[in-house]
Every structure is written in structure tokens, then in C-alpha cells.
Copies of this chain bind each other. A is one copy, B any other.
Amino acid sequence: MACLRCWVEYETAKTIVIRNKVVGSVFRLIQFLIILYVIGYVCVVQKSYQVNDSVISTVTTKVKGTGFTNISGLGAHVWDVADYNIPPEGESSFFVLTNMIITPNQMQSSCPELPNQSTICMSDCDCTEGSSDVRGNGIQTGLCVNYSETVKTCEVLSWCPLEIDTDLPERNILPDVNSSYLKQCEFNRITDPHCPIFRLKDMVAEAEEDFQTMATRGGVLGILIDWSCDLDFPEHYCGPKYSFRRMDNKNPENNVAPGYNFRFAKYYKTTDDVETRTLIKAYGIRFDVIVFGTAGKFNIVPTIVNVGAALTFLSLVSPK
């Protein structure tokens, strides 16, 4: 009975009311500041009432333009998108070939290793049959053969002739500057900040890099797309913000291999059914499209933001 009475009690603190203008005004001021913080900062600035979701997005890209080279040995050669854009699929990361070392007509055979401290030899005793150097080009046959008239090196089983990649061409590469044929629009930080069509040179310039250097040695350029939307507003206020930034470490001191390059090969068969290949050490700019942002909104369904508008990149290597 006492317990039930206990349940229907109401307990409250005894309060004193001080009727003093100074004390009262200070109290009201403090109350006002707290309300200002909650409404002004927490609700309006921080939007803490919104539930933030990471952006779920997909990216399609498209590269356009034609290049021209006149390399001794290869002759005049026109490069179109199927030649210089690797891989071709137009995903969020794509590569534009700007420089290269070509080693044509390689065949599985044996040839003298490139000369360095561990491959130069005097006689067959200096070479070990079957050994393979991590930084070498093949499997040693155990023979010591003439690399040049003065130098002998260990012979290796490999794709011969070996690639000599010490002389990187310092080509004069001109990104296209003529823009008269662009469809619809072209990205410009000031006049057209939402247009998803970019020029190579503009992107490199926005990242505050030198196009000529980056094209010769290669590098990774991030295309950062910020979809920090405020879904309190109607959807059409929510546009992407583009920025560009070099993502690889161009400082040779901190880096194992500055620049960006990779090797790939095109395989052929001769009329005698022997496999040959053309090895290409490709230097160029890899573009990584990175989408981020918190598309804040009041419900929890994951946002799917479509960044599917084709990014078009313009001409790569101009004729001399």
C-alpha cells in the first residue's frame, strides 16, 4: 500500500526565485547563448539533424582526340583513342599514353644481358646456369658472351632483343589548344564549373603541374568530384564540385620510382608460327576519378549519385 502510494508521488526540487535585475539579465543572456548555439551552429551550420550517407556512385569516362608521332624506326604514326587509351573500358581510372619506349620484334631466344655490376663477366665461370636476377631480364644460360666489342655479359633466355630503357625520349608534346569543335560546354573554373568535359592541359594546369614534364615522365592525376549535397534543398541545387590534384609522389628522394609507367606487349605470330611481340614501356598520365562527399539527408536510404555524364578528354599529342 505504501509502495503504490510511492508510485503516484511527484518529486520536484524546491526552488527560490530571485527578483534582481542584474542577476536575472545575466541568467537570460546565458540561456540565449545556449539556444543560439543549438539552433545556429548545431542545426543550421553543422546540420547535425541530417543523417549522412556516403555517396554511392559510378563513373564513366571517354577520351577523344588524335595524336601524331614521327619516331625514327617506327615512321610516321597516327595515334587514336584505341591506341593510347588503356584500358579502353572508360571506367573511373584511365590512362593516356604520352611517351614510350618501343622494343619491336622480340622473340623467345637467348641474348647477352644488359651490362651492370652483376652481369658483366670475364668467362663462363662468372655466370650461373638457371639463376635469375630480380632486376635482370631473364634466366641465365651459364654462358659469357659479347654484349659489345669491349664488354662481355652473361647470356640470358628471354624475349630478345632486350629493352634498353635508359634513353627516355624528351618529346615536345602539345596538348590541343583549339576548342572550336566542343560539344555543348567545356569545363572552366570560373565560367563553367559544372561542365564535365575537360581539356588535358586545363586539368594539369589546375593541379599546378607542368604538362610537358608530367607527359614525359608520367604521373597520376586525381579528378576529385565532391558531391557534398544539402538535401534540404531541391535536388537540382546539388551539383558536383571538380578539383584536380597530382596524386603520385614526384619527389625522387622519397620514392622508389618517380613518375608513372608500365610495360605491356602486343603479341603477333610470324608466318612460321613463331610468337613475337612488341614491348611497350608506356609513360603517361593516369587519371583517377575519385567521388566523395556526404550527400546529407533526412532518411537513411543509401543515395545513388550518377556521375555518368561522359567525361571527355581532348587531344593528346599534336603534330610537330
Contact = CB atoms under 8 A, between A and B. Distances in A.
A114 interface: no
Contacts of A9: 17-19, 24
B14 A15 contact: yes
A20 interface: yes
Nearest to A58: B247
B78 A184 contact: no
Contact of A286 (B27, B89, B286): B89
Interface string A171-196: 00000101101111000000000001
Interface stretch (A34-42, A143-151, A256-264): A256-264
Contacts of A310: 255-257
A243 to B, nearest CB: 10
Given A10-B23, A181-B133, A157 B68 contact: yes
B181 A135 contact: yes
Contacts of A14: 13-16
A224 B302 CA distance: 10
B288 A292 contact: no
A42 B271 CA distance: 74
Given A68-B139, A134-B182, A268-B268, 14 more contacts: A8-B19, A10-B17, A12-B16, A58-B222, A58-B247, A64-B135, A66-B158, A76-B108, A78-B108, A130-B320, A133-B181, A135-B181, A245-B304, A256-B310
A309 interface: yes
A52 to B, nearest CB: 11
Nearest to A90: B262
A55 to B, nearest CB: 10
Contacts of A7: 24, 28
